[in-house]
């Protein structure tokens, strides 16, 4: 299991992507036919800003831009099936909102 390929990537290739892009996360989408995975990076501030700007006129284009900039590798079915792709986009958005913060007076 330790040397199992994820989206066609070896553990060494995933480590190279971590070095290049920083924090990575794995999205798994499950339907009745199977499980499909995508390796994603966290969006940069530039990507978030561009997506927000595009989103003012076309939310779907903004979502696709976020997907295109965050997904580093994916199972082929995700690219071919819109519903799987939309679930990856949803997971990227959820990841962006999953962090918690603590604020206190100094």
Mean pLDDT of 94-98: 87
In-domain check, residue 106: no
| 48: containing domain | 11-95
What is the value of pTM for the model shown? 0.86
Mean pLDDT of 57-65: 94
CATH of the domain at 38: 3.30.2220.10
In-domain check, residue 103: no
Mean pLDDT of 50-75: 94
Which pLDDT score, from 0 to 100, does residue 2 have?
A: 61
pLDDT top residue among 101 and 7: 7
In-domain check, residue 21: yes
In-domain check, residue 100: no
Mean pLDDT of 10-39: 96
Q: Which residues contact 78 (CB under 8 A, 6 or more apart)?
A: 29, 36, 38, 84, 85, 88
Count the domains in the chain: 1
């Amino acid at each position: 299991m330790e040397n199992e390929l994820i989206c066609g990537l070896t553990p060494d290739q995933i480590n190279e992507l971590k070095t290049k892009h920083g924090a990575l996360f794995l999205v798994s989408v499950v339907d009745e036919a199977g499980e499909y995975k995508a390796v994603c990076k966290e969006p940069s501030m530039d990507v978030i800003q561009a997506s927000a700007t595009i989103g003012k006129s076309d939310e779907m284009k903004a979502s696709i831009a976020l997907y295109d900039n965050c997904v580093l590798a994916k199972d082929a079915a995700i690219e071919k099936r819109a519903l799987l792709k939309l679930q990856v986009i949803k997971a990227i958005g959820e990841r962006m909102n999953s962090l918690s913060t603590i604020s206190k007076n100094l």
